[in-house]
């Protein structure tokens, strides 16, 4: 029962470096999304995908890229890391975009120095 | 833009007391509302999902109510235990674009 798996769990980057946060789900869910969680704030939507080959921007997309080549995988790329991107990142999936029960990964805690 | 508010931000109660957590939202055009639990350093675990046509949902000691017209949901946890200590988040699914809007959460401490 893997559900939604995120890697890595922790990462420290230097300003300007790039990296990819991995997300995979084994529930054959159509809808996948990336959120960031900052202290005192609710989760904010970065990017989402309604199916393989289809992605769209959320509330805070700047500085991030996504792609969805398969149903299972939805990686998030940081192009040139900035200290403002220090956050905890969560990947989530639902059966379809109509927000049935959402399943979350364990999160990636990213620090940009 | 949907705004979701959870008050209070933190709550401390003695073991055995009933917990009442509040969630309010500004736009009543919702598809569903979901309550999550988050333990420190962990992901979100779904507790209850209420569809917009429902008034409440129950699971064990947990009961969540939904009043769409007033823009409110309440999560009740009966007979609290130290293991209930966590942050509880509510998320509202929009019926316009089906995106989730999250509150900042209520951090609960149950004292033994």
Distance from CA of A67 to the nearest CA of B (A): 19
User: B46 and A101: CB-CB below 8 Å?
Assistant: yes
Three-point CA angle A77, A80, A85, nearest 5°: 75
Look at residue A26 and tell me whether its pLDDT is greater than 90. yes
Determine whether B8 is exposed, middle or buried from the number of CB atoms within 10 Å of its CB (0-12, 13-18, 19+). exposed
How does pLDDT run across A63-110, given as a tens digit for each residue?
999 999 999 999 999 999 999 999 999 999 998 877 678 899 999 999
What confidence score (pLDDT) does residue A99 get? 65
From the list B9, B44, B103, the residue facing A90 with the nearest CB is B44
Whether the CB of A97 is below 8 Å from some CB of chain B: the reply is: yes
Which residues, including other chains, have CB under 8 Å from residue A37's CB and lie 6 or more apart?
A: A43, A44, A87, A88, A89, A90, A107
Q: What's the pLDDT tens digit per position in B11-63?
A: 999 999 999 999 999 999 998 999 999 999 889 999 999 999 999 999 999 99
Closest by CA position to B28, among listed B48, B2, B6: B2
Chain-chain contact of B103 with A42 (C-beta, under 8 angstroms): yes
Cα–Cα distance for residue pair B91/B36, rounded to 1 Å: 8
B101/A104 Cβ within 8 A:
no
Question: What is the number of other CB atoms lying within 10 angstroms of the CB of residue A37?
Answer: 20
Average pLDDT, chain A: 94
Task: List CB contacts of B19: < 8 A, sequence separation 6 or more.
Answer: B11, B13, B75, B76, B77, B80, B84, B108, B110
How many contacts (CB atoms, under 8 Å) link A and B?
59
**Model confidence band, residue A1 (pLDDT cutoffs 50, 70, 90):** low
When CB atoms are compared, the residue of B31, B36, B105 closest to A99 is B31
């Amino acid at each position: 029962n893997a559900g939604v798996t995120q890697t890595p769990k922790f990462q420290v980057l230097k300003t300007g470096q790039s990296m990819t946060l991995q997300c995979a789900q084994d529930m054959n869910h159509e809808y996948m999304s990336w959120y960031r969680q900052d202290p005192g704030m609710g989760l904010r939507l970065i990017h989402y995908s309604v199916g393989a080959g289809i992605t769209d921007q959320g509330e805070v997309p700047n500085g991030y890229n996504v792609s969805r080549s398969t149903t299972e995988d939805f990686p998030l790329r940081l192009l040139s890391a900035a200290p403002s991107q220090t956050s905890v990142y969560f990947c989530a999936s639902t059966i379809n975009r109509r927000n049935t029960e959402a399943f979350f990964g364990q999160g990636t805690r990213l620090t940009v120095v | 833009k949907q705004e979701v508010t959870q008050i209070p931000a933190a709550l401390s109660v003695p073991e055995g007391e009933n917990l009442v957590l509040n969630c309010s939202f500004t736009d009543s055009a919702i598809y569903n509302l979901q309550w999550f639990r988050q333990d420190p350093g962990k992901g979100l675990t779904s507790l209850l999902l209420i569809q917009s046509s429902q008034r409440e949902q129950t699971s064990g000691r947990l009961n969540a109510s939904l009043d769409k017209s007033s823009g409110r949901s309440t999560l009740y946890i009966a007979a609290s235990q130290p293991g209930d200590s966590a942050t509880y988040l509510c998320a509202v699914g929009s019926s316009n674009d089906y995106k989730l809007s999250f509150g900042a959460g209520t951090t609960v401490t149950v004292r033994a």
